[in-house]
Homo-oligomer: A and B are copies of this chain.
């Protein structure tokens, strides 16, 4: 079986000084701090330490061999997306990381594929960069799950998603810029609670905002981290749709009936949760994803899928076939 991990990240080892170039602050900056380590700063504030697996293809391929992964899909991270500044500035960062991604893929012995990033605050510039990247060999695009207060259910987003479908670009939607931040300062609840809530809000908003009724059937989209809190609360979403005084939105059927229109990755870290996720989403709509090489990503990638009581057919789909279809391989 050709195992595909469709949710991994890369970071460049260093980033140029875009704050200096544009004369604006808040840009991420990456500086090498040792032979195998770099640090990300936002202005002069420490954001995160990263290790060589983020940029070093040899280290990445070694990890893949250890876990029996044949193909990895790499993408950047929402901290690099820069949705809150002028799009003609943000697109410079996109071009930098998108070209770096292709350099990493070129060194990957055919075992790496990439999703690009785009300045989603301007759909024209974003669509143009997407087209450039698809021509360069990207398989699709990773986007953050909201742009300011828009939960991806705007007319502009329908246009962008339609463009993605026309380009044959797979879309991975990733949480970022978490709600309730002031109440999630401790114990990493921003990651354990905030991220699943963000993804839940975006799936719900896209369904209820009529996005899936408006975009082409060929639109392929996947939500990170098992779709966040969607599956576990799908009954509540349906109940609000059926009985809430303003619960229907533009959705033409209950939210649970839209599950054949999107996929989720398998990153739920518990076989019981994954079996349930497959029950709600269907075995064609879940794909192996690990968050490699980040600290809270899956270790021994693929073991949660293998540890379930799912059928061999379902495991084959989740570990391989569904991602091939999603990525149009």
Task: Tell which of A53-61, A99-107, A223-231 binds the partner.
Answer: A223-231
Q: How far is the CA of A268 from the CA of B235 in the complex (A)?
A: 6
Whether, in the assembled complex, A236 has its beta carbon less than 8 Å from a beta carbon of chain B, the answer is: yes
Copies in the complex: 2
CA distance A92 to B193 in the complex (A): 35
- Chain B hits for A233, CB < 8 A: 192-193, 196, 228-229, 232, 268, 273
Nearest-Cβ distance from residue A214 to partner chain B, whole angstroms? 15
Interface size on A, residues (CB 8 A): 61
Nearest CB in chain B: distance from A50 CB, A = 12
Per the bound structure, the CA–CA distance linking A299 and B238 in Å amounts to: 13
CB closest chain-B residue, reference A291: B239
Among residues 148 to 169 in chain A, which have CB atoms less than 8 Å away from a CB atom of chain B? 149, 151, 153
Closest CB in chain B relative to A156 CB, distance in Å = 16
**A209 contacts B193, C-beta separation under 8 Å:** no
Are A296 and B188 within 8 A (Cβ)?
A: no
Query: Given the complex, which residues of B lie within 8 Å of A193, measured CB to CB?
Result: 197, 200-201, 204, 229, 233
What is the interface of chain A mostly: helix, strand, loop, or mixed? helix
Is the CB–CB distance between B272 and A192 below 8 Å? no
A205–B229 contact, CB under 8 A? no
CB-based contact B209/A184 at 8 Å: no
Interface residues as binary, A211-246 with B (CB distance below 8 Å gives 1, 0 otherwise): 000000000000001001101111111111001111
Asked whether B200 lies within 8 Å of A187 as measured between CB atoms, the reply is no
Residue contact B228 to A205, C-beta cutoff 8 Å: no
Q: Are B240 and A192 touching (Cβ within 8 A)?
A: yes
CB distance B235 to A232 under 8 Å?
no
Q: Mark A240-269, 1 if CB is under 8 A from B, else 0.
A: 100111111100000010000000000111
Contacts of A304 in B (CB 8 A): 235
How many angstroms between the C-alpha atoms of A225 and B256 in the bound complex? 18
Given contacts A196-B236, A204-B192, A243-B295, contact A187 B249 (CB under 8 A): yes
Chain B nearest CB, measured from A202 CB (Å): 9
| Pairs A–B under 8 Å by Cβ, sample size 26 | A149-B182, A149-B183, A151-B183, A180-B197, A183-B201, A186-B208, A187-B205, A187-B246, A187-B247, A188-B240, A188-B244, A191-B236, A192-B233, A192-B247, A193-B204, A197-B197, A233-B268, A234-B270, A235-B268, A235-B304, A243-B295, A243-B296, A244-B295, A272-B276, A273-B276, A276-B276
